[in-house]
Structure 1
Amino acid sequence: MAGDEVEYPTEYMNTLANTRQTKWADESTEGVRRIRDAIADRDSFGDLPELAAYGSVFEEVRTIYLETLCGAKDDLDAVAQGIRTSAQQMQDRDDQAGAAFLELWQRWENGPLASTQNHDQASSTESAQTAAVTAESAEAATTGTSPGQVVPEGGSGSTRDEGAVPTGGPTPPTGGPTSETPPPQ
């Protein structure tokens, strides 16, 4: 049974508990009534000592049987209540899980997301604005555009929205001295 999933349809459980309990209650009440109200009692067996003794046994057996039936009725009532309670707890948990999921969905759908709030807050500081201007200037220097200028399609426009920040300045001119070739003498 380990790892097997068991599903309990709560509506069915409630119906089962209610209909079965009604049937159990009716049948046990009828059974108790029949035994309790039976025509025979101790005196029904007469005055002969052997028959009177049997009448006493009959009375005791009837008492034991009636008490057993009353206990069975209580047990069946407890079973039905247990089924209803279990179904209600499952429904409550389903409702709680659904509410938690709905709350999460609404946060995702309607915002604000913590990541967006934190991004906006961090981006609005003076130091972040200064860094953005510096990054745009460095990018403009490498692309030959002025800061804020729109680059035609296929060009290398601002990468700030893509999360990349240029790390170096302009590329050194080609054809100049390098560390591998000594300067001309």
Structure 2
Amino acid sequence: DNKEQIDQLPIGSGPYQLKEYQVNDLIRLERHPNYWNSPAKMEQVVFDISHRGTGTLAKLLRNECDVLSSPISSQIPIIQEDENLELTATPANNVSFIAINTETPALRDPRVRQALNLAINRQNILDSVYYGTGTLAYTLLPPNSWAYQKDSAKIRYDRNYALALLREAG
């Protein structure tokens, strides 16, 4: 009945057990003394869940932590330029998208929606916002998903055609 207890009293059989949990700050795991297999190599593992943005990178640069997971896109050049750090990129199963409210009178016309779609320079967004670390997606499923359809239509950036469609739509 007390759903909050799951955060404080988790049950597991892995090599680590919960030692400390501070909401929106950290999770500290310690080596599980009764683990059935060989003991974990590290005595403890601490996860910073503070969402402090640049603070987590600062900890990495000061050797206060060993790993930074999912850095902010703007931090990637800093990490790449530091010879003491190694950046490893792996495909994620998330997609950024723009939803359009088709109940708005101006957006009811499919030509207007198509024009908006053609007017988005996806590669420019990928390069400037994600620092080239992502992959262009043309559906709600990312390209590394087993259900992704490789033959999906690829929407190209075409500003002139977008303007022509808007003129046609009035």
TM bin, normalised by shorter chain, reads under 0.3
Q: What is the TM-score of this pair, normalised by structure 1?
A: 0.18
Task: Select the structure that is richer in helix.
Answer: 1
Larger Rg: 1
Q: What is the TM-score of this pair, normalised by structure 2?
A: 0.19
Structure having greater relative contact order (Cα 8 Å, sep ≥ 6): 1
